[in-house]
């Protein structure tokens, strides 16, 4: 995953601009004695703004540009002239990006509409000049207000793909094959587990030039919530889906049990996923005859199901009809989702009686640091 062009996680350091200080200045003009205060206000510091841009589909452009600093506001001057505002800096991200505080895991904001702008870090307010502090009893104030300081924060940006239907299943359940059949996408397909290492999107064509978007994520195995396999990292990409299509191959030992395992892993990641409309697709049904299909159909979960074969095309049109029906049901419309706080991994404590130091040669001299181990499974760069 380190060399992949699909980057859905990045950690950056953001800093807004300082507000400019107000001016302590007095009016000076020929033949005008005691002109009084005329110090102007300082300019506002620049904001750090998150902006949704449809020209981006991953966060790879931010992978090596991780310092985002806005411009400081200028100080006020005489003649009640305000200082220049600091220029805002924009972070262009794909639609569906979510921002979290890297230190606390707190949800900050998300952008879900093209062109949507959200102020991630506001710039400091400019200080007031001494002209604002004049009174009847203090006609020549000899002070002004300093500008507000900047805000600095480590921010984690996560991309959650926007799709209508999300494919959920074990490895080799036929998810990528189905996506390649119903859309023009070309995901990697092979006869070994975990062929899909990154999410894939495909536009599924339907009747009368209608279409919807389908998302294929890497396979889930039992214990994924504990880090087995590829873990639950990619499940964020189906949080915005209206319908979840569970795919279980027909040659499975226990279809009902595999479906329960998948449900449990989803609940471990985000319990709200269980509230979405669910459809079960029994794949590879070209291996079955009519009698076996009838027997299997009697012991399936109580959700809409369909038997399909991506090789022969059996049941594909029926699956499209069922998906389109559920997508157009007002009950299944995704209004908003709750973004759960990220897990923050603290440094591992070093035993007090074991002093381990490392001496590093820098251009400023020799510095000694105490070793601390940090671990974040999603941030390996």
- The residue-averaged pLDDT of 328-350 equals 58
Residue 278: CB atoms within 10 A of its CB come to 21
pLDDT interval class at 336 (50, 70, 90) = low
Q: Residue 12: which of 153, 140, 127 has the closest Cα?
A: 153
The domain defined by 165-332 folds into Rossmann fold (3.40.50)
pLDDT interval class at 381 (50, 70, 90) = very low
Judge whether 1-159 and 165-332 match in fold.
Answer: no
- The residue-averaged pLDDT of 288-316 equals 82
Rounded-to-integer distance, Cα 162 and Cα 159, Å: 9
pLDDT at 358 over 60: no
Q: Residue 236: which of 339, 377, 326 has the closest Cα?
A: 339
pLDDT at 45 over 90: yes
- The residue-averaged pLDDT of 202-231 equals 79
**Taking the complete model, does pTM exceed 0.75, yes or no?**
no
pLDDT at 370 over 60: no
User: Which residues touch 243 (CB under 8 Å, ≥6 apart)?
Assistant: 164, 165, 166, 276, 277, 278, 279, 323, 326, 327, 332
pLDDT interval class at 299 (50, 70, 90) = confident
Tell me which of 39-48, 219-228, 258-267, 360-369 is least confident.
360-369
The predicted-structure confidence for 107-151, as pLDDT tens digits, reads as follows: 888 888 888 999 999 999 999 998 888 888 888 898 899 999 999
User: Percentage of residues in the chain with pLDDT exceeding 90?
Assistant: 18
The CA-to-CA distance between both ends of the chain, in Å, stands at 11
pLDDT interval class at 372 (50, 70, 90) = very low
pLDDT the model gives residue 342: 59
Domain ranges, ordered by start, for the chain: 1-159, 165-332
The predicted-structure confidence for 184-207, as pLDDT tens digits, reads as follows: 888 888 777 777 777 888 888 888
Domain 1-159 sits in CATH at: 2.70.210.12
- The residue-averaged pLDDT of 248-261 equals 85
């Amino acid at each position: 995953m380190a060399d992949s062009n699909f980057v859905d996680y990045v950690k950056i350091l953001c800093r807004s601009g300082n507000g400019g200080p107000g001016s302590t200045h007095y009016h000076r003009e020929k033949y005008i004695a005691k002109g009084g205060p005329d110090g102007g206000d300082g300019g506002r510091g620049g904001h750090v703004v998150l902006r949704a841009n449809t020209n981006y589909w991953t966060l790879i452009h931010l992978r090596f540009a991780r310092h985002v600093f806005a411009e400081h506001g200028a100080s006020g001057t005489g003649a009640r002239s305000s200082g220049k505002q600091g220029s805002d800096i924009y972070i262009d991200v794909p639609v569906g990006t979510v921002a979290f505080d890297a230190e606390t895991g707190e949800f900050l904001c998300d952008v879900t509409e093209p062109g949507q702008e959200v102020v991630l870090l506001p710039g400091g307010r400019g200080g007031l000049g001494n002209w604002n502090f004049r009174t009847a009893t203090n006609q020549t104030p000899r002070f002004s207000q300093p500008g507000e300081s900047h805000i600095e924060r480590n921010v984690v940006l996560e991309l959650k793909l926007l799709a209508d239907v999300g494919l959920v299943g074990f490895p080799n359940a036929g998810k990528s094959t189905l996506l390649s059949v119903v859309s023009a996408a070309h995901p990697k397909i092979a006869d070994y587990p975990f062929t899909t290492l990154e999410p894939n999107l495909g536009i599924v064509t339907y009747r009368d030039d209608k279409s919807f978007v389908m998302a294929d994520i890497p396979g889930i195995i039992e214990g994924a919530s504990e880090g087995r396999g590829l873990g639950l990292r990619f499940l964020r990409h189906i949080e915005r889906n209206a319908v979840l299509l569970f795919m279980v191959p027909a040659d499975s030992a226990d279809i009902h049990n595999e479906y329960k395992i998948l449900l449990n892993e989803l609940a471990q990641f985000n319990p709200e996923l269980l509230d979405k409309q669910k459809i079960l697709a029994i794949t590879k049904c070209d291996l079955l005859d009519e009698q076996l299909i009838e027997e299997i159909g009697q012991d399936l979960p109580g959700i809409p199901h369909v038997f399909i074969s991506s090789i022969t095309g059996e049941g594909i049109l029926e699956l499209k009809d069922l998906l389109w029906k559920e997508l157009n049901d007002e009950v299944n419309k995704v209004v908003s989702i709750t973004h759960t706080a990220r897990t923050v991994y603290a440094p591992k404590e070093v035993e007090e009686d074991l002093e381990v130091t490392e001496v590093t040669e820098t251009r400023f001299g020799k510095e000694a640091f105490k070793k601390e181990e940090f671990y974040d499974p999603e941030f390996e760069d």
